Structure 1
Amino acid sequence: MFRDMYFTNMLSWLPELILGLVVLLIGFFIAKAVERAVHKRLKKSRVNERLDVKEGKWNVEKIISKVFFFGILLLAFLLFFNIMNASMIAAPFMTMYSGLGGAVLSILKAALILLLAWVLALVVKKVILAVGGKMKLNKYVAKVGASPDEIDKSKWVETAANIAFYVVLLLFVPAVLHALGLSGISGPFEGMLTSFMHFIPKLVGAALIFAVGWVVAKIIRTIVTKLLESVGVDRFSHKLKLSSGQGKETSISGVIGTIVFVLIMLPVTISALEVLDLEGISQPAIAMLNDIMTMLPKIAVAVVLVLVGIYLAKWIKGVVVSLLDNLGINSIFGKMGVRSGASTPSFSQIIGTIVQVVVILLFVVEALQLLHLRFMVTLATGIFAYLPMVVAAVVILAIGFWLANLAEKFVGSILTTKSGMPHVLRYVAKYAILAFAFFMALSQLGIAPAIINAAFILILGGVALAFGLAFGLGGREHASRYLTKMEGSLQEADVSKEKWEQKKSEMKQEAKQSANKAKKAVDETAKEDNVPPIGNGGGYPTQKDYEPQTGSSNELPLSDPADSNMTDAFEDNDPTRTNDANKDGYNTTDPGEDYPFDPNRGNK
């Protein structure tokens, strides 16, 4: 009886088993078909190639198709267990499948949102490409002053379209994350995107302000440049040699136009940064630009001051060079033994250039003082404080060279050997004077004064000590021979009075020529300044040369010093007024005739 009941129960759930197996078998075939369809579709879409995945046993296409296969097969097993009334076995699978189904629904929802975003972004991209292709971008580029040939129209339009495409996708990212249930990620991302969307109007406003300011600045720059060109600023700067003449960009009008452009763009940039409202960036930048705007008037005054200094220095250089040329400074340096070659500038030009540089530096120092650049002002002040010592050292060296050459000529003209060659004492006199001048110049420059003074004293003391020891100790015989040789050399020396007279007459002739050149230079300078030239009254204006100005009754003419009743302070020292001129001596000529600026005195 038990057996009958067992078979009866078995036969009662046998139809359910057969139905469940049929459902399971059908589910398997459906899952397999879906797997093949999905794999075929993914294969046709070349998902592996798009994702740069190599072909192998497991790849993206196979994994996705297997997911569909096992998902449908799991659903078939759930149906099988429900048909068999095996709820205890089906419950875990049902819970897992419910969660998986919810995830699948969320994924499908996110996929639909992403698909919508992709379609919308693609439409926006196509619209931008179509509109950009029809726009004449080169025409607008040429209007703002840029070169149309340097603009790649397709590249710029494609870049703008791609930017718009990805911006649209970014706008849908929070919705996709929210659909997936990723609130921990979607919340911060949505806040960031919201802040970015709020910043876009500010960015657009700042860009518009900057673009409009840039266009206006370029227009004003063009107007200013053309106006200055029509006025003739470039020609004036070319006369002053302030422009390079290598193109419009390097002309004075172009430079001033660029400065105006920058001055307009500075407040425009400040306004654009204020619209952006980025305190971390805008506040320091605005403070810096405000400082620049505050400094601009001082900079303008400093630039004008330097330009005036350059012009004035150029004019002073021309005056100095002309005056020194007329005074014969080049010939004076030549007589001192320092001559300039044909390819090198003359000494008057060198001195004029030095004067020009000094004047420019003076104006530069004043400009730096206006800009409150204390370090540069202190440095330049120190340099100018040292310049007088340098000038004094140069003057000492120049006088030393002149005296050395003069002593060499003088000794060489009166002392000669029996063979007619100049005596060696001419070089002793020359280099002794040069040594003194060199040490005096170094002392004037303040270069290690203690060492220079000690070296000079040691050299003189060493020479004196060596000379004394040579005569006082065991070198008396050698010193005696040396003195005998020196005495013989001096006896052989021939002091020629005729050569001295000839040399003296040459010096008088040169002095007369120098006086004539100096007088001619002063006359030319007076003519340039519309002043009556110096008369013939002994080098002083006489009453004939004086032309009184109208409207003044108190002006008295200048008279010759010979007509003056004033007492000469040096009258007692004049050899012609004392009896010293009548004493016998080597030079029996009148001492007054050597005065270079009164060559006719000896002939009176």
Structure 2
Amino acid sequence: MIPPLKRYTKNHRRWTKMNGQPMTLQEVWQAIVAKVPQMLAAVLVLVGGYLFALLLASTVRAAIRRLNLDTRFQSWLSDEAPPTPLPISNWISRGVYYIVLLFVFIAFFQVLGLTLITTPLNRFLEQLFAYLPRLLGAAILLVVAIVVARLARLVVRRVLSAVRLDERLAAEGTGAAVPATRTAADTIYWIVLVIFLPAILGALGLTGLMEPIQRMLDKILDALPNILTAVLILLIGFFVARLTLRIVTNLSASLGVNQFSDRVGLSALLGRYTLAQVLGGIAYVLILLPIFTAAMQALAFEAITEPLTNMLNRVIGALPLFLGAVLVFLAGYVIGRLASGFTTQLLTGIGFDRFIEQLGLRAPEGARRPAEWMGQIVLLVVLYFAFLQAFQIMGLDAITGILRNFLSFAGHIATGLVIFGLGIYLAQLAARAVRASGVGQSSLLAGVVRAVILVFAGAMALRQMGLANEIVILAFGLLLGAIALAAALAFGLDGREVAARELENYLARLRTSDQTEPKQ
């Protein structure tokens, strides 16, 4: 019988027995030799267990890969083509490897008799295997959730494919990079998985995570009927609006609305859209607005839907006024185009372009003729009054007041331009009359007369426009004073000798008269 080792103390500096008696060197050696088989057995257990763990992990990995579970599981989760394999084989094989290693370490320490280490490890394994049914239950629920989600996704995809949703959206010009059918099917798939999530967490015993998710799902499920109702209303309203858009567009085109817009010049205003398309778009919006209101009310989210519903109701209430304003503007544009064409033709017929050229105002080559400019001015005037009436219909009093004030200012500007135009005409007539008189320096006198008339006409025009009346009056007075001063200086400097001779003659006549009076 080999006496057991107890301790090695610093005080005695030697091995002692259980009873405190010191051990001899031979007894120490015998104790070590007795432990060698136990240590060899522990090493064999460790090495053999390690090799067994490697072999079992590689076998499990090969079996999973042979069954192609990586790709299959990814295909269950997603519809990628081809699916990106998930490394499930690596995850499971590593789990098996570490679990076997844990058993190997427990056996290793038990062979060595180190119960201080094996006891907590055994307790951990007991808890792990006690939790294993929960893991299996959660795994089964996960598989069931995936199967149900895939079935739901398949049903949604088949239904939407049967109604050709993607083709209809592509025909409407709303095709996206990801088809709507696939998006809806994937959404249903993940919704089903989320619904199963609380059950999976409950099977795992994770109540701390399960409770908030369950509350969230309860709220979502409570609101789900309202959401589905709103979505259904939007879908039906969208298709009805699109159908109405087509009907109104085709009916308007068949009635010749587009040809009418070409004749009156609306095509240039509408750009790349035809009048029939615009009318169809108006009908589309008129249908969608109440549809949006009904969808918001179906949601029953008062914090969100109430302000949106109020806004939509205001828009719907203001829509008749807006449409009336648009009709007034369109009518004004049509009338303005007609009046513009009539004015251009009338002024061309009475020789307005030649009259402007006679005034010395010649248009550049390729530019618009004066008659065309007058036609555009008439169009702008008609559009101005159309805008004024449209804003008044919509109740925009501030903008209406600004336009009325601008009308008064524009009237003064137009009167001033007419006065200046008459001044140009009279200046041309006076210059021609002076040139035709044949007097000396007629060209110079004609230029002076023309300049004087233009200055007077410009001063009158600026005063009529109300552009700095004081400055205009002061400038005009200074100009007349400067002209008078220049004339006085010119006469005084150039006529000194003549004035001296006349003054001497006058004085001589006075002396002669004084001398003749005494003789009488």
Task: Tell me the TM-score normalized by structure 1.
Answer: 0.63
Closer/same/farther in 2, CA of residues 72 and 90 from structure 1, 3 Å limit: closer
Is 1:259 the counterpart of 2:290 in the alignment?
no
Is 1:298 the counterpart of 2:321 in the alignment?
yes
Query: After the TM superposition, which residues 351-362 of structure 1 pair with which residues of structure 2 at under 5 Å, given as runs?
Result: 351-362=374-385
Closer/same/farther in 2, CA of residues 435 and 302 from structure 1, 3 Å limit: same
Post-superposition Cα deviations, 1:415-441, rounded to whole Å, max 9, x if no partner, equal 444xxx744111111112112222222
Closer/same/farther in 2, CA of residues 126 and 427 from structure 1, 3 Å limit: closer
Closer/same/farther in 2, CA of residues 404 and 185 from structure 1, 3 Å limit: same
Q: Of the candidates 197, 218, 226, which is equivalent to residue 173 of structure 1? A: 197
Cα pair 1:35 1:69 within 8 Å, conserved: no
Query: After the TM superposition, which residues 312-323 of structure 1 pair with which residues of structure 2 at under 5 Å, given as runs?
Result: 312-321=335-344, 323=346
Q: Distance in 1 between matches of 2:247 and 2:182?
A: 35
Post-superposition Cα deviations, 1:77-134, rounded to whole Å, max 9, x if no partner, equal 79879xx9x99887645544433333444333323322332344345455666x379x
Cα pair 1:270 1:289 within 8 Å, conserved: yes
Is 1:436 the counterpart of 2:460 in the alignment?
no
Partner of 2:476: 456
Cα RMSD (Å) of the superposition? 4.3
1:297 CA drift (Å): 0.9
Post-superposition Cα deviations, 1:561-586, rounded to whole Å, max 9, x if no partner, equal xxxxxxxxxxxxxxxxxxxxxxxxxx
Partner of 2:230: 206
Query: After the TM superposition, which residues 324-343 of structure 1 pair with which residues of structure 2 at under 5 Å, given as runs?
Result: 324-325=347-348, 327-339=350-362, 343=366
1:263 CA drift (Å): 0.2
Query: After the TM superposition, which residues 566-585 of structure 1 pair with which residues of structure 2 at under 5 Å, given as runs?
Result: none
Closer/same/farther in 2, CA of residues 165 and 80 from structure 1, 3 Å limit: farther
Is 1:163 the counterpart of 2:163 in the alignment?
no
Partner of 1:445: 465
Partner of 2:311: 288
Is 1:398 the counterpart of 2:421 in the alignment?
yes
Q: Distance in 2 between matches of 1:307 and 1:225?
A: 18
Larger CA deviation: 378-387 vs 313-322 = 313-322
Q: What letter corresponds to residue 404 of structure 1 in structure 2?
A: A
Post-superposition Cα deviations, 1:452-495, rounded to whole Å, max 9, x if no partner, equal 332222233234334445666xxx3x665999xxxxxxxxxxxx
Task: Tell me the TM-score normalized by structure 2.
Answer: 0.72
Q: Distance in 2 between matches of 1:88 and 1:318?
A: 109
Post-superposition Cα deviations, 1:163-213, rounded to whole Å, max 9, x if no partner, equal 333333222221222222222211111211222233333222212111111
Larger CA deviation: 330-339 vs 174-183 = 330-339
Instruction: Provide the aligned length of Structure 1 versus Structure 2.
Output: 449
Q: Distance in 1 between matches of 2:87 and 2:438?
A: 106
Q: Of the candidates 129, 146, 149, which is equivalent to residue 118 of structure 1? A: 146
Cα pair 1:145 1:218 within 8 Å, conserved: no
SS in structure 1 opposite 2:265?
coil
Larger CA deviation: 422-431 vs 196-205 = 196-205
Partner of 2:512: none
Closer/same/farther in 2, CA of residues 25 and 110 from structure 1, 3 Å limit: farther
Q: Distance in 1 between matches of 2:420 and 2:498?
A: 34
1:228 CA drift (Å): 2.8
Query: After the TM superposition, which residues 107-146 of structure 1 pair with which residues of structure 2 at under 5 Å, given as runs?
Result: 107-125=135-153, 131=158, 135-136=161-162, 138=164, 144=168, 146=170
Gaps in structure 2 of 5+ consecutive residues = 4-36, 71-83, 500-520
Q: What letter corresponds to residue 36 of structure 1 in structure 2?
A: L
Cα pair 1:337 1:402 within 8 Å, conserved: no
Partner of 1:364: 387
Q: Distance in 2 between matches of 1:229 and 1:128?
A: 39
Q: What letter corresponds to residue 118 of structure 1 in structure 2?
A: I
More helix per residue: 2
Cα pair 1:39 1:61 within 8 Å, conserved: no
Q: What letter corresponds to residue 69 of structure 1 in structure 2?
A: V
Q: What letter corresponds to residue 237 of structure 2 in structure 1?
A: G
Q: Distance in 1 between matches of 2:435 and 2:461?
A: 26
Q: What letter corresponds to residue 300 of structure 1 in structure 2?
A: L
Q: What letter corresponds to residue 426 of structure 1 in structure 2?
A: A
1:256 CA drift (Å): 1.0
Partner of 1:425: 445
Closer/same/farther in 2, CA of residues 296 and 124 from structure 1, 3 Å limit: closer
Q: Distance in 1 between matches of 2:242 and 2:174?
A: 19
Q: What letter corresponds to residue 211 of structure 2 in structure 1?
A: G
SS in structure 2 opposite 1:243?
helix
Closer/same/farther in 2, CA of residues 89 and 446 from structure 1, 3 Å limit: closer
Closer/same/farther in 2, CA of residues 62 and 325 from structure 1, 3 Å limit: closer
Q: What letter corresponds to residue 73 of structure 1 in structure 2?
A: V
Partner of 1:37: 56
Q: What letter corresponds to residue 60 of structure 2 in structure 1?
A: R
1:304 CA drift (Å): 2.0
Larger CA deviation: 388-397 vs 438-447 = 438-447
Post-superposition Cα deviations, 1:292-312, rounded to whole Å, max 9, x if no partner, equal 111111112112222332333
Q: Distance in 2 between matches of 1:202 and 1:481?
A: 112
Closer/same/farther in 2, CA of residues 158 and 372 from structure 1, 3 Å limit: closer
Partner of 1:409: 432
Partner of 2:30: none
Gaps in structure 1 of 5+ consecutive residues = 4-17, 54-58, 484-604
Q: Distance in 2 between matches of 1:344 and 1:45?
A: 83
SS in structure 2 opposite 1:447?
coil
Q: Distance in 2 between matches of 1:464 and 1:149?
A: 79
Q: Distance in 1 between matches of 2:193 and 2:498?
A: 111
Q: What letter corresponds to residue 240 of structure 1 in structure 2?
A: V
Partner of 1:380: 403
Cα pair 2:427 2:450 within 8 Å, conserved: yes
1:250 CA drift (Å): 2.6
Q: Distance in 1 between matches of 2:242 and 2:407?
A: 43
Q: Distance in 1 between matches of 2:318 and 2:175?
A: 37
Q: Distance in 1 between matches of 2:484 and 2:252?
A: 75
Post-superposition Cα deviations, 1:268-324, rounded to whole Å, max 9, x if no partner, equal 111112212233432232222111111111112112222332333344445544554
Q: Distance in 1 between matches of 2:177 and 2:437?
A: 93
Q: What letter corresponds to residue 38 of structure 1 in structure 2?
A: A
Larger CA deviation: 444-453 vs 290-299 = 444-453
SS in structure 2 opposite 1:424?
helix
Q: Distance in 2 between matches of 1:38 and 1:232?
A: 80
Cα pair 2:153 2:189 within 8 Å, conserved: yes
Aligned residues: percent identity?
28
Query: After the TM superposition, which residues 47-58 of structure 1 pair with which residues of structure 2 at under 5 Å, given as runs?
Result: none
Is 1:100 the counterpart of 2:123 in the alignment?
no
